[in-house]
Structure 1
Amino acid sequence: MHYALSPRTFFHSHYFHLGLRFGAGLIGIVWLTLATSDMATAMSVGIGALCTALMDMPSPLRHKFNEMLSAVLLCSVVTLLVSLCAPYFWLLIGVLVLLSFCASMMVVYGKKSMPLQLATLFIMTMSMEHHMTPMQALVHVGLFTLGGVAYLAYAMAISWVLRHRIKQQVLAEALFELAAYIDIKADFYDTRYNLTEQFNKLVRHQALLADRQQASRDLILRAHQNRKDAIVVQVHVHMLDLYELILSTHTDYAQLRVHLADSPALIALRDLAYKCARDIESVAYAVTRKKASYQSISYEPELAAIETELAELQRRVDAGKPAQEALAVLRAQRNKVRAIINMVGELHVASQKVSDSTPFWLDADMQPFLSQQRYELQVMLSHFRMDSPIFRFSLRVAMAIAVGLAVGTLLPYSAHSYWIILTIVIILRPSFAMTKQRRSDRIVGTVIGCVITALILVFFNHPAVVLAALILSTIATPTFVYLRYRYTAIAVSIMILLQMNLAAGGSIQVITERLVDTFIGAAVATVFSFVLPSWEYQSLPKLIQQVLAANLRYMEAAFELLQGKCRNDFPYRIQRKGLMDALATLSGAMVRMLDEPASKRRAVEDINLFIVQNYLLVAHVAALRAILRRHVKDIPAREVNRMLAASHVQVCRTLAEALAKHGVQAPLPNLEADLAWSETIAPTGSVEWAGWPVVQRRVRLLQADAEKITVHSEAIERNVVKQ
């Protein structure tokens, strides 16, 4: 279950606060307008506020202002254009189709543009039913713009006052998702769970975790200037360091289960992971409540059980029994878990300290860590080609809306074309999988919403009850839009139907007609989801290239750091983030492909293994960093660096060759230069070094997994491109 759906955390999440902000602003603006004017004026102002509120998302203040202002200006222009064309049927049809196409093309600007696309199509749909004179249209647009500007001012004022609070909530969400990630890792130690299925769950959750961590970066690292910000910056940085340590815990779980199948140590490792997840959740919960977090969970019983098992294994080894490998594996996991527990403790401490400044890679450019977006016309124009998925999606939406308008005019009863069109624009998404999910949520949510509204109007038709239901549905509409869209569909149906009842009166027949319109719109959207489709497998070759290129850059930065050529881990962090983003994108595409028709799925098993192997490379690097840090005082630097230099060349050449087979040439590392570097380092310890077995094992695994990446990338190429 999503953390924000739990009663304990729901009321502290930014989702609930968004709903409160949305509801208070929208209802407040409508009531203030009603106090000085009539219902028609209040509705025009309210719709302007509603369209602007669709862009009210957690964002840095400057970005938020630009996003919401663009919604006000664009929606005002669309309202004016549609209102002027409404009396002329064929002109209106042409304008609606053209606007639908242009609004859908805005999706090229990424996830942040999706609410703007929806706001544009929403106001287009709501304006098509109003037949006005030019002067009435100008007055209506003026009122609409007034409502939009009023909500913009309100939202910016609230966001400025609560700017630190929003950072805390977004950071807490990333921490909750990290805890959920560890819960999945904990089940690797439980023999009841299939390892392959757990890897699949882990890979899917990795994409979600990467998205939440990026949202935290975008809010926290853009502006951190005061003492309050110092705490969230400290917690954020410790969270990322903890994440790397968690990655380093990856081991051969099948071997671990074989060696420790009947051992209490395996249960202890699972319980330790579970306790770590709860410990991180306690930090997240404290952050949402604006409080310092203090460690209250004890890990001693589980650690003691592991130490007892280690002593038993050591006795078996001393007695000449074959337990050396089990001893080495368990000892390595014990060391990693202790490091994670210590880092969780530092996470608690980070939430307690109040610094006068925010030292975070002083004088470093944070831009590579932040989401970059270019809102340029040329970006959109570059997608005006038939092989562009966004262009095909825009054509699909435009054709579906044209058919929806035609169907609305042919129906025997008093159809409401705008409801059919609204259903189409809500359901039709750029990918088949998203369309399929939206269709189900929209239909089920609308049916439930209509039933609830009918019950209210038939059995509880009292002004106080209707008003309470209207307020609750208004708050719930944005609250669940990113959590459970089905709940949003229920709430928005109740909200609109009750508003119609209050504004113009109505009957149960109106509700029935809305249900019919919804099914018609859903049917049209379903049919057009197969028109000019863009199947996920078509984007796989490019995504595989991006992952291989990102991994090659990451390996270059990682070996620079491991060999001591670079003391600052800032470049390494940048490349690690780039690789994680590329993997998250590929993972998301794979998940969506699994929801497409079976005939459109390609190389699912190889893609999954390709993603897993890339994550394993990150885990091996993280483990090598942890090992070298642990042995920093006695490490034979020259010998270790010679081994790392050879491994560097082999791994990078393997990845470069895989990339070359996808048509991209990459420069290869120079072994002689790396060996020359290692010769400049004086050895600081004996060649007989206790860390050799674990380092050599990780290096072998790193090289082996790099080879597997090549194998799976070639298999994907064969199955996707050549079919």
Structure 2
Amino acid sequence: MIQKLLLFLKTYDFRKGILFATLGFLLFLSGSYFFPDTPFGIAMGMGILLSAISDVPGTKKHTYIGILTGIALAIISFLLVHLTIYNTWILLATITALVFANSYISVYGLRASMVSFSGLLAIALGFIPMGSDGEFYKSAIFILLGSGIYIFTSFIINLVKPKQIGEQLVVECMQLTAAYLKTRAAIPLSNNKEVLLQKLLSLQITINDKHENLRAVILKQPSKVMGSGYHRRLLLIFIELVDILELAVANPINYKDFSNRFGSEIKILNAFSELLKSNAELLMDLSYKISDKKVDHKAPKLRFLLNNIQEAIEHYKETHEVSNVRRNNVILLRNLVDYEEQQVQKLETIERILANDFNLEDAKDPDQPNRFITNQDYSLKKLKDNFNFNSVIFKHALRLTLCVMAGFLIGTFFKLQNTYWIIITILVIMRPNYGLTKQRTIQRVIGTLIGAAISFLAIYLTNNMYIYAGITFIAMIFAFAYIQRNYLKAATFITINIVFVFAMFSSDPFGIINSRIVDTIIGAALCVIFNYFFYPAWESSNISNTLKNSLLANQHYLKEISAIYINKQKSITEYKLSRKTAFIQIGNLHAAFQRMSQEPKSKKSKVSELYEIVILQHTFLSAAAALGTYIQSHKTTEASHHFEAYINSIINILDACILTLEDKKNTVEAAVDNIKNANNYLSETYNNLLIKRQEELNTGQIKISEQLRSDLKEIKLLYDQLKYLTKLSVKLEKQVTHFTKQP
């Protein structure tokens, strides 16, 4: 717990929170003291706030372009609101145009959405009184100055500590991967596998996002920015983390089959479980020491646990009579040990890199690294293509605009004290789909109530301006540290911050708390109503397309695995690109399912069928990854045409699924004879190898020859995985057909 807290205090988010709070607080105090009759302090603070919002980690170029674009939109929005604030109906028209225009920019992705939020927030902040009629021009200049101070300070800090963003992302990725390994280790021995599998899929979504951020920061960032040696260390750790995830996903056996085969073999189950847990613990431990100059070598413990597994396998051999079942089980276990050995090697490499016990020059750079970076399309065509009711962002922009208009009219009609609090609540809560908006609404309301309760207690117990200032400063730090990490905590600290800022200048702080609660509830209620009734983007309307993308990604991944095995190609760039896409698409599918499950019962159908498809898709990806990791890490024999026939048959079944989703006639013929012939060939080849092994035993050769062991492991894995992939694809086709049928 203490380690996690210390690590959080080192994060870029926390440091950004300190930066914003310190600058904002100092400027606010100095402005209030030296320029008491001007909007200096408030406007400078707004400039810092609006710049901090659009400060998204990435290359320096993209970061500063994003901040400058965000502040430009903010200034334009702020000025237009102030120019029209004296006429309610003209102001309403201005707000309508600005909200739609700013929110529609989100079509360009995450960075653009944060940039657009700077503009949206400036609309709400434009309602804050800024002195006499002409003062708002000065306010705009002060906002620009505040933004300039933020950019300059941020630039100096990044110049002094250029490593912090990349380092934080690597640490977070290590911790998420450790959590993934720990969850996976718990599944075989758990009685509640479904819950853990759901957690596993959710973790994979988060890890995929973290990988994308790391690619943008590490692969795109020039090495001289962080120092060539340090940059290379982070790059190599990132490469190992990606491979660790693939190895974790690559489960060469299914959990049910494993339990059926070895359920009574507690020694084997415990040995594997202990190793998996230790892998997770070591990776978590290394994440805490990424900045340390000295790292204790703990990886040797993993070698000891690997030896325990080998002993457990030998014990299994000794306590079971020689038979084909025993041989099959031993080969299966040895294949599993192979995967765990590779996992241990990856962890050993990370430990050596952190301990400066690794020759960075010996490691190979990734082939064509720029191909792994997802580049955003910023063309005007994207705006044009999304300007219709088929676009989720277009409907979101329209819905948000109508909701803000309603909030403004309610605040104006009832003459509420701080109408802009309603608008800010709407802007912060409203999301493109119902599920996320619902989740955000709950977090906002709970956070506001907790923050209000804490504020009420503090104000009730004391009436000291210095204490108020101290609480404001601390709350401001944590509000901005948590804003992109944990919105519930952020909402709590934002409420505390706002209450105490107003409490320092108001004779009725309890009234401020009451107003804050009322405005938040009004804004939250409007978000829920408008998300349900106005141009809702129900996930069920687009889920078929998300499912199709996942099927296409899995299919392409399987093709690249086949290409490596058939052609024995040295470059695996295409394989890794297809792996990246498959992982991202399965994450997208599960995220879409989660959003759909949060929607009202009347707006979703066949949830259980879709869940079955999601699990089948994830299991298919795991089986394909098991095949891919084995093929790329072992010297394999020549591929027969039967292997191609098997792969092509599986690909054809996936084609049939895709045609069904596209509502097209299924013209794909199931090559039953090809699968049957391939299955017979692989079975016969495997049995012939078993006969060879029996001949070795008959001649007194107890220890199996290395070549025969390698051939047995290869054919056994191919045989099992191809059969398993075929079984999964057939199940997928049935489930997809059932899912697409009208209820």
TM > 0.5 between the two?
Answer: yes
Deviations 1:570-591 (A, max 9, x none): 1111111111111111111111
Cα distance, 1:287–1:688 mapped onto 2, change above 3 Å: closer
Matched, 1:712 2:710: no
Alignment match of 2:22 (pick from 24, 28, 53): 24
Classify the secondary structure of the residue corresponding to 1:249: coil
Classify the secondary structure of the residue corresponding to 1:299: helix
Using the TM superposition, name which of 333-342 and 270-279 deviates more. Answer: 333-342
8 Å CA contact 1:409, 1:415 repeated in 2: no
Distance, in Å, in 1 between the alignment partners of 2:515 and 2:174 is: 45
Matched, 1:588 2:586: no
Q: Which residue pairs with 2:301 in the alignment?
A: 298
Matched, 1:703 2:701: no
| Residue type at the aligned position of 1:46 | G
Alignment match of 2:462 (pick from 446, 460, 463): 460
| Matches for 1:174-213 after TM superposition, within 5 Å | 174-190=173-189, 192-213=190-211
8 Å CA contact 2:218, 2:235 repeated in 1: yes
The structural deviation recorded for 1:47 is 0.9
Q: Which residue pairs with 2:386 in the alignment?
A: 383
8 Å CA contact 1:182, 1:276 repeated in 2: yes
Using the TM superposition, name which of 48-57 and 622-631 deviates more. Answer: 622-631
| Matches for 1:45-194 after TM superposition, within 5 Å | 45-130=44-129, 135-190=134-189, 192-194=190-192
The structural deviation recorded for 1:302 is 4.1
Cα distance, 1:291–1:89 mapped onto 2, change above 3 Å: farther
Distance, in Å, in 1 between the alignment partners of 2:511 and 2:598 is: 36
Cα distance, 1:489–1:689 mapped onto 2, change above 3 Å: closer
Distance, in Å, in 1 between the alignment partners of 2:306 and 2:365 is: 35
| Matches for 1:401-420 after TM superposition, within 5 Å | 401-411=404-414, 414-420=416-422
8 Å CA contact 2:368, 2:573 repeated in 1: no
Q: Which residue pairs with 2:684 in the alignment?
A: none
Distance, in Å, in 2 between the alignment partners of 1:232 and 1:355 is: 14
Deviations 1:258-281 (A, max 9, x none): 232232211221111111001111
| Residue type at the aligned position of 2:25 | I
8 Å CA contact 1:227, 1:358 repeated in 2: no
The structural deviation recorded for 1:104 is 2.1
8 Å CA contact 1:83, 1:131 repeated in 2: no
TM-score normalised by length of structure 2: 0.87
Alignment match of 2:350 (pick from 323, 347, 352): 347
8 Å CA contact 1:293, 1:351 repeated in 2: no
Cα distance, 1:686–1:181 mapped onto 2, change above 3 Å: closer
Distance, in Å, in 2 between the alignment partners of 1:214 and 1:47 is: 31
Distance, in Å, in 2 between the alignment partners of 1:428 and 1:688 is: 57
Q: Which residue pairs with 1:535 in the alignment?
A: 538
Deviations 1:688-718 (A, max 9, x none): 9323222211222222223333333333333
Q: Which residue pairs with 2:607 in the alignment?
A: 604
Classify the secondary structure of the residue corresponding to 2:569: coil
The structural deviation recorded for 1:536 is 0.8
| Residue type at the aligned position of 1:586 | L
| Residue type at the aligned position of 2:312 | E
| Matches for 1:34-45 after TM superposition, within 5 Å | 34=32, 36-38=34-36, 40-45=39-44
Distance, in Å, in 1 between the alignment partners of 2:352 and 2:624 is: 27
| Matches for 1:103-502 after TM superposition, within 5 Å | 103-130=102-129, 135-190=134-189, 192-223=190-221, 224-225=223-224, 226-262=228-264, 263-289=266-292, 292=295, 294-295=297-298, 298-299=301-302, 302-318=305-321, 323-353=326-356, 361=365, 364-411=367-414, 414-502=416-504
The structural deviation recorded for 1:367 is 2.9
Cα distance, 1:296–1:548 mapped onto 2, change above 3 Å: closer
Cα distance, 1:19–1:62 mapped onto 2, change above 3 Å: same
Cα distance, 1:688–1:420 mapped onto 2, change above 3 Å: closer
8 Å CA contact 2:127, 2:420 repeated in 1: yes
8 Å CA contact 1:431, 1:535 repeated in 2: yes
Classify the secondary structure of the residue corresponding to 1:689: helix
| Matches for 1:636-655 after TM superposition, within 5 Å | 637-638=637-638, 640-655=639-654
Classify the secondary structure of the residue corresponding to 1:661: helix
Cα distance, 1:381–1:625 mapped onto 2, change above 3 Å: closer
Please provide the CA RMSD for this pair.
Answer: 3.1
Classify the secondary structure of the residue corresponding to 1:441: helix
Q: Which runs of 5+ in 2 are unaligned?
A: 679-705
Q: Which residue pairs with 1:689 in the alignment?
A: 711
Classify the secondary structure of the residue corresponding to 2:163: helix
Distance, in Å, in 1 between the alignment partners of 2:368 and 2:34 is: 51
8 Å CA contact 1:23, 1:471 repeated in 2: yes
8 Å CA contact 1:543, 1:586 repeated in 2: yes
The structural deviation recorded for 1:66 is 1.0
| Residue type at the aligned position of 1:180 | A
The structural deviation recorded for 1:533 is 0.9
Cα distance, 1:212–1:108 mapped onto 2, change above 3 Å: same
Q: Which runs of 5+ in 1 are unaligned?
A: 676-683
8 Å CA contact 2:205, 2:587 repeated in 1: yes
Distance, in Å, in 2 between the alignment partners of 1:616 and 1:101 is: 42
Cα distance, 1:576–1:429 mapped onto 2, change above 3 Å: same
| Residue type at the aligned position of 1:715 | H
8 Å CA contact 2:233, 2:360 repeated in 1: no
Q: Which residue pairs with 1:681 in the alignment?
A: none
Classify the secondary structure of the residue corresponding to 1:87: coil
Classify the secondary structure of the residue corresponding to 1:385: coil
Deviations 1:29-79 (A, max 9, x none): 445545653362111111111111112232221111111111111101111
| Residue type at the aligned position of 1:477 | A
Cα distance, 1:128–1:463 mapped onto 2, change above 3 Å: closer
Classify the secondary structure of the residue corresponding to 1:193: coil
Distance, in Å, in 1 between the alignment partners of 2:498 and 2:473 is: 11
Deviations 1:545-576 (A, max 9, x none): 21122222222222111223521011111111
The structural deviation recorded for 1:122 is 1.6
8 Å CA contact 1:283, 1:293 repeated in 2: no
8 Å CA contact 1:203, 1:612 repeated in 2: no
Cα distance, 1:162–1:34 mapped onto 2, change above 3 Å: farther
Matched, 1:516 2:539: no
Distance, in Å, in 2 between the alignment partners of 1:247 and 1:71 is: 39
Distance, in Å, in 1 between the alignment partners of 2:255 and 2:552 is: 29
Distance, in Å, in 2 between the alignment partners of 1:8 and 1:709 is: 46
| Residue type at the aligned position of 2:737 | E
8 Å CA contact 1:316, 1:322 repeated in 2: no
Using the TM superposition, name which of 127-136 and 567-576 deviates more. Answer: 127-136
8 Å CA contact 2:73, 2:118 repeated in 1: no
Distance, in Å, in 1 between the alignment partners of 2:640 and 2:74 is: 60
Deviations 1:453-488 (A, max 9, x none): 233333222233112101111101121123321111
Classify the secondary structure of the residue corresponding to 2:567: coil
Distance, in Å, in 1 between the alignment partners of 2:98 and 2:252 is: 51
| Residue type at the aligned position of 1:642 | H
Deviations 1:309-358 (A, max 9, x none): 32232234445696444434333323322221222112212333476769
| Residue type at the aligned position of 2:593 | M
Distance, in Å, in 2 between the alignment partners of 1:473 and 1:631 is: 55
Distance, in Å, in 1 between the alignment partners of 2:734 and 2:354 is: 45
Classify the secondary structure of the residue corresponding to 1:563: helix
Deviations 1:289-314 (A, max 9, x none): 57656335613664454334322322
Distance, in Å, in 2 between the alignment partners of 1:583 and 1:115 is: 26
8 Å CA contact 2:429, 2:527 repeated in 1: yes
Cα distance, 1:437–1:552 mapped onto 2, change above 3 Å: same
| Residue type at the aligned position of 1:463 | M
Cα distance, 1:706–1:101 mapped onto 2, change above 3 Å: same
